[in-house]
Amino acid sequence: MKQTRFILVMLTMLSFVLSEAQGGIGGYFSKFRPSKKWSVGLQISPTHLNGDADDAKIGLSGGAHIKYSVSQSFGLKLSGDIGTLKGGRIESDFSGNRKDGRWGNTSVVQQSESDFSGNTGNQAPTDDSYVFTNNFKDLNLTAVYTLGNISFLRPLRKLQLFTFFGVGTIWSDVKGNFENDDAAELQLDAANYYRTWGDTYFEPVDANGNVITRADFDADNSIIANANTYYKGRNLTIPFGFGVKRNFGRWLDLGIEWRSHWTRSDALDGFSFPLWRNRYSDFYTLLGIQASVKLGTKGEKEHYDWLNPMETIYADIDTAISIARRLEPLGKDSDGDGVSDYYDTEDSTECDKVYANGKAMDSDNDGINDCNDLQPFSICDDVDENGVAKDSDGDGVPDCIDEEPNSATDALVNVRGVAANNGACCDCENVALPTIIFDNNSSRISPASYGVLYAVAEKMKSCPGLAISATGYTVNKSGEQLAYKRATSIIDHLEANYGIERSRISTGYSTGTGVEYSRRRIDLGQVNE
């Protein structure tokens, strides 16, 4: 039993490995996926037994088979046969046994008894007057390996060889008997076996067909008229062999197959006496003439068995080369922007600041790519060819946020572009004052703001009644102190440098997430009484 399981496991593993190597059940080679894989057919076979009663008597069997081709060189085949096995031990002697059933001066019984314990083995048949007929049925599953369809140089031929091995079972129904035209010789054969083995292996009868007991036989040895053997049972087989077949178009294959079956049984011929010349196990052989019809669905013209695997390899190599050529642009970058031409929607741009698709970046969406934009983060869409926001009056405030885009040249303006003196030196009723910008985390006045503070001081001198506010901005509690320091530094500057009274300037701050522009500024504004 262990041996049987081992054989089954090995067969399964080998079949799986070979099927994967050839491409798997799904068909690795894409060129031949729409191909037929199934075939069914019939076979007729002469049969021959190689056992203890293996004198040449030919039997006949017939059966059917079905095959699934996993790949071009490997398939699984299920086959079954019903037929007869025939044989006997009545031909001329090859072992030294004379017609009288003796070896020299030693009787058959004496020879078998003396050699039974240590001289068993496969010996040539004797001339015992024994014949049998086995009406059998078998079923086999084999792995089939095609040998004739692999070639590097020539086209596939219409004739190919294959070999196979597998596992199976046989159901035997054996009837045998001792018979001989010479009654004396028949009696001698039957009497000798019965004298030694009794009723264990066969059943002797007298001339009237009555079963002979041992007492009857001891009283009269010549009472045996015939002796029958019987066996009915099932046995494991290991089928193996080879064959050849020819392709006859899209639908038909014809072939011949030699198949031998090894069995772990010595009962296929019904001759199971444990004599020294008896074989351990029996073989039987079928030489089948087969016709197979190839099955497939619409669009499947060829069959896997008749496709050269090397052609599929060449086809896949061509496909791989084609794919490689198509992928060449993946490694090419004509404009050197770091994006391959395969994905580059602008493969001729001269800008190296690009998005993942190769398009030049325009961070502020002003129509000028970042490589040529002198203000890549401008807040205006109305820009010149260099991406600089247009400033019609040259006051440093872009037109898109300038509330007075036509203010006088050199006029001091606030962050919204409004002139600080509204164009009149002595108008003290509606005064617009500029904004002072500080560095990050600093309350020190930048030298760039000195001129602005000078203009503020002059305006306050021109308008003695003008009071202003210095308002800082913050979004959290910790920024309040910094805003206060910045406002105080402006008051100190105006007092120290221009004599502006501190009382004319009030301080304050604004908080919240709605603070406009930078929190670094201090806005100066007129205080209306």
For residue 286, the model assigns a pLDDT of 96
Cβ(404)–Cβ(413) under 8 Å?
Answer: yes
CA–CA separation, 487 and 510 (whole Å): 12
Instruction: Indicate the pairing of strand 159-178 with strand 130-146.
Output: antiparallel
Closest CA to 72 of 40, 31, 41, 42: 31
Please tell me whether residue 337 adopts helix, strand or coil conformation. coil
CATH architecture of 435-526: 2-Layer Sandwich (3.30)
Q: Which element (helix H / strand E) includes 219?
A: helix 214-219
What is 194-241 written as a DSSP string? HHHHTTSS-EEE-TTSPBPPHHHHHH-GGG--EEEEEEEEEEEEEEEE
- Structure tokens, 373: 């934009």
For residue 246, the model assigns a pLDDT of 92
CA–CA separation, 287 and 289 (whole Å): 7
CA–CA separation, 203 and 66 (whole Å): 42
CA–CA separation, 478 and 480 (whole Å): 6
Which residues sit opposite 87 in a β-bridge? 132
- Structure tokens, 88: 């006997």
Residue 517, number of CB atoms within 10 A of its CB? 13
CA–CA separation, 243 and 241 (whole Å): 7
Handedness of CA 102, 108, 112, 113 (dihedral sign): negative
For residue 31, the model assigns a pLDDT of 47
Please tell me whether residue 491 adopts helix, strand or coil conformation. helix
Residues whose CB falls within 8 Å of the CB of residue 27, separated by 6 or more in sequence, listed in order: 33, 35, 71
For the chain, residues classed under CATH 2.40.160.20 are 2-314
Residue 515, number of CB atoms within 10 A of its CB? 14
Which residues sit opposite 9 in a β-bridge? none
From residue 5, how far is each of 8, 12, 79, 239, 420 by CA, in Å? 5, 11, 21, 15, 104
For residue 128, the model assigns a pLDDT of 65
CA–CA separation, 456 and 486 (whole Å): 16
Q: What is 2-314's CATH topology? A: Porin (2.40.160)
Which residues sit opposite 48 in a β-bridge? 285
Instruction: Indicate the pairing of strand 505-511 with strand 468-474.
Output: parallel
Q: Mean pLDDT in each 10-residue stretch from start to end of the chain (529 residues)? A: 54 49 42 76 94 83 95 91 89 40 35 34 52 94 84 66 95 82 62 68 75 77 75 93 92 95 87 62 92 86 76 68 71 70 71 74 78 76 78 74 72 67 60 85 85 87 87 78 88 89 86 64 82
Handedness of CA 329, 332, 334, 336 (dihedral sign): positive
Cβ(253)–Cβ(294) under 8 Å?
Answer: yes
Residues whose CB falls within 8 Å of the CB of residue 280, separated by 6 or more in sequence, listed in order: 120, 122, 266
CA dihedral 408, 410, 416, 420 (to 10 degrees): -80
Cβ(505)–Cβ(470) under 8 Å?
Answer: yes
For the chain, residues classed under CATH 3.30.1330.60 are 435-526
